[in-house]
Structure 1
Amino acid sequence: MTATTAATAARTTDTPLVIDGLQCGPYDRDVFQQLRAGRVTCATATVAFWEDAIETMDALAAWNDLLDANADLVLPARTVGDIERAHETGRTAILLGAQNASPLQGRLGFVRHFHAMGLRVMQLTYNNNTEFGGSCYEETDPGLTRFGREVVREMNAVGMLVDLSHSGERTRRDAIEHSALPVVLTHANPRSLYDHPRNADDATLKALAARDGVVGLATYGSLCGRYARTLDDWCAMVARTVELVGVRHVAIGTDLSPKAGAAEFAWMRKGRWTRSEQRGADLGSPPASATGTGEWLADASGLARVADGLVATGFTRDEAHAVVGGNWLRLYASVLKTGDGDGS
């Protein structure tokens, strides 16, 4: 065995896969170095919130250039094999996703197009109701629409992950039932632990688990309340979620926004649809219990501590490794398919 092979084998055996199911914001080499410092094997990066098809294609092209320029730190993830290769070579695989289905512009065939261009995760709705279903922030959730059912079916066929993080509860449960493959909440928490419209009720989480889906627990203070304050607090939220749905169905979805500033947050919250103030998940004035901002996770480098934090909370080492990465990897293996959009 060569020295390189031995080092790779040791890294693969001794170091857990750390996978973050959702991040968003501007990325550069400094952010990639933070991911490496956090020993992050794979992170899903957001390429679209309100963008149309052309804007999303521009974003994907920019990501191709960015990944090429930093190939010593990162690589594009289109299959589970790419994620495993990143782990073996000490890099971070970047899985690209959209937090809205706006890039489709009413065209079912664009699901296959965007899959072929590298998109692997897509939310059916973001902060507003769409032609696909209802948002968690709207007063009325119509559920998964006829078009939404077609899109879910197409995403299943090509191997694109259906994300319901910002959807309303009726739309979430409709999609869970309709999808032939497991679906996910990439960045949400149990509403029974912190009451927020972006979080999911217990019935939805149990339905998700029954179909072998995964919930990525967010670290964002507005979605965690007191559970955001310290790593121990956040691990306690993980433990309570595991009691609800089982360790197989719980993972990480931080919702970190590296280097995002006022302009980026304004776009995330307002897009082009309003001139009024929109606070997103902050909901204007968070209660005192929600003011924690997760200082223990100022950037992705803090993710290196999570497995040990879970063990200190009472998880076995195998259970901790499942939560920090193994559960996402298993789910990706059941959903993600080839990179050419042929659905094989």
Structure 2
Amino acid sequence: MLDPSPQYTPYRSYSHLEAGVDFPDIPLAQQVGRVPAYEGLDLSTTQKERTEGLLRESMVISLHDHPSIFPEDLHRDLRAYIRTGREFTGYEGLSRSGMTAVFDNVMDGTCCISSDGGWKWTDVLHDLGMRMSDLARQDYLIKGESLADIRRAHDEGRMALVFGLEAATMIENEVDRLDILHGFGVRQIGIAYSEANYLGSGLKERGDGGLTYFGERAVTRMNQLGMAIDISHSGDRTSLDVIKHSSKPVFMTHCGSREVWPTNRMKPDAVISAMAERGGVIGLEAAPHTTLSPAHPKHSLESVMDHFTHLVDVVGIEHVAFGPDTLFGDHVGLHDAFSGNLSIGQAHGHVEYEKQPYVDGLENPAECFYNIIGWLVSHDYSDDEIRAVVGGNIIRVLEEVWF
């Protein structure tokens, strides 16, 4: 983890309002130091210098994260916090991350402002609008809507925050809602989140009917708008249909290999290969208890990198990136509280694993890329290979997808 960026001016979300008057005064988790620092890297002085240099100088992009701060006491305060529709952004933590850009997928499955079911159109717009109103009051994060924004962030030592959504469930059967989301600044969107919707099937369903006719219309519209498409949570057949129907490469923004860890939450190598053949990229996932491996069944950076080395062998290093899917707070506790909304049981299936309190080395957005780059440095990857997987591969796809 780095020191805060010199371009970062300390800022706390919604500080223009009065806590306890304009919104509930809920104690939030620490952005830095909530869990012990990762001790799995044993870098020499030269390797540390190279790691920090690559992190500061490269275009470093998280393809999927939730860089919000969650309540310190999830059991007591989580539902009340979400009901406010006012998530706090982890500005300080992000300023230490070294990232050039982060794809922020906001509340998504926990977007339960008015309904425990989540994914409602008005709730999603509320969520996006509230976050953007806060973003407009600070000067470190840039709202990322184009490659020019990401490049400007890099040149200025700042960070671009790109809004994404893990599913298009909230558009229902209204394809023009994609245009509205694009107008709000959304530049990446998933097809389905575990549960089937009007577009296609999610990974939790017993049967996968594939991409619907409406789903084909929606994919075409996403291509026309310049929205990057994500199939991380879609069923296998739906994923293949999207890859085939899309005129542009697609992403798996946060996933791993089912051949390494056999759960529905991972994708089969055949589907990952089909995506790569059309030019797409997979971002490796690090949400708790997802990208495990037989060699490292206690979830850690090493588990995730087992998926990395496997997929580099399967599809080539030019099709692999990172979408850690982290947040500031107790991610395991969040999963426990929202297991139904997030389809945790169906995602894991019957595969047993040892529950961990956090993912060691990839616990929050502030630490992920220092540790990822440090691991790559310590395993003798070249500077060009490292730059490719921490951002270059994503840029290549966005050059084709975005306008």
Interval containing the TM-score (normalised by the shorter chain): 0.7 to 0.9
Structure 1, residues 306-335: CA drift from partner, whole Å, max 9, x if none? 223113223211111111111112212211
| Residue aligning to 1:241 | 311
Q: Which runs of 5+ in 2 are unaligned?
A: 1-6, 8-52, 70-86, 110-117
Question: In the alignment, does 2:393 pair up with 1:334?
Answer: no
Partner of 2:388: 322
Q: 1:161 aligns with which of 228, 251, 254?
A: 228
Query: How far does residue 105 in structure 1 lie from its aligned partner after superposition?
Result: 2.6
How does 1:129-144 map onto structure 2 within 5 Å?
129-144=196-211
Letter in 1 for 2:134: L
Offset at 1:26?
3.2
Q: 2:364 aligns with which of 273, 281, 299?
A: 299
Q: Distance between the aligned counterparts of 2:220 and 2:267, measured in 1?
A: 23
Counterpart amino acid of residue 307 in structure 2: M
User: Which aligned pairs between 1:119-134 and structure 2 lie closer than 5 A?
Assistant: 119-134=186-201
Distance 1:235 1:229 in 2: 11
SS of alignment partner, residue 260 of structure 2? coil
Summarize deviations over 1:113-148 as a string: whole Å, max 9, x none: 110110111111002111111111111000001000
CA contact (8 A) 1:74 1:91 kept: yes
1:270 equivalent to 2:312? Answer no
Distance 2:257 2:349 in 1: 21
Residue 16 of structure 2 is aligned to residue 16 of structure 1: no
CA distance in 1, matches of 2:133, 2:185: 13
Deviates more, 1:226-235 or 1:35-44: 226-235
Q: CA RMSD in A?
A: 2.7
Corresponding letter in the other structure for 2:328: P
1:304 and 1:103, CA in 2 relative to 1: closer, same or farther beyond 3 A?
same
Say whether residues 1:44 and 2:86 are aligned partners. no
**Are the counterparts in 2 of residues 242 and 250 from structure 1 also a CA contact under 8 Å?**
yes
Residues 31, 155 of structure 1: alpha-carbon distance in 2 compared, 3 angstrom cutoff: same
Identity %: 26
Q: How does 1:168-183 map to 2 (within 5 A)?
A: 168-183=235-250
* Partner-residue secondary structure (3-state), 2:189: strand
Aligned residue in 2 for 1:102 = 169
Aligned-pair CA distance for 1:25:
6.2
Match of 1:220 in 2: 287
Separation (CA, whole Å) in 2 of partners of 1:309 and 1:263: 27
State the shift of 1:110 in Å.
1.0
Q: Does structure 1 residue 253 correspond to structure 2 residue 304?
A: no
Change over 3 Å in CA distance of 1:96–1:14 after alignment to 2: closer
Q: Does 1:84 align with 2:154?
A: no
Contact 1:25/1:264 (CA < 8 Å) preserved in 2?
no
Partner Cα distance (1:69, 1:116) in 2 = 20
Q: 1:62, 1:210 → 2: CA distance? A: 39
One-letter amino acid matched to 1:42: A
Assess if the C-alpha contact under 8 Å between 2:67 and 2:365 holds in 1: no
Partner of 2:45: none
Report the TM-score when normalising by structure 1: 0.85
Q: Distance in 2 between matches of 1:148 and 1:164?
A: 12
The CA deviation at 1:41 is: 1.0
1:70 partner SS: coil
More helix by share: 1
Question: Bigger shift: 246-255 or 41-50?
Answer: 41-50
> SS of the counterpart of 1:131?
coil
1:211 and 2:278 equivalent?
A: yes
Distance 1:263 1:236, change over 3 A: closer
Are the equivalent residues in 2 in contact too, given 1:230–1:295 (CA < 8 A)? yes
**Cα separation, 2, equivalents of 1:282 and 1:155:** 26
Partner of 1:75: 142
SS state of the match for residue 223, structure 1? coil
Whichever residue aligns with residue 334 of structure 1, its letter is E
The alpha-carbon distance between structure 1 residues 222 and 232, as it changes in their structure 2 partners (threshold 3 A), is closer
Instruction: Identify the residue that residue 56 of structure 1 maps to in structure 2.
Output: 124
Which position in structure 2 is the counterpart of 1:342? Answer: none
- Aligned counterpart for 1:313 among listed residues 353, 370, 379: 379
Relative to structure 1, the CA distance from residue 304 to residue 186 in structure 2 (aligned partners, 3 Å threshold; closer, same or farther) is same
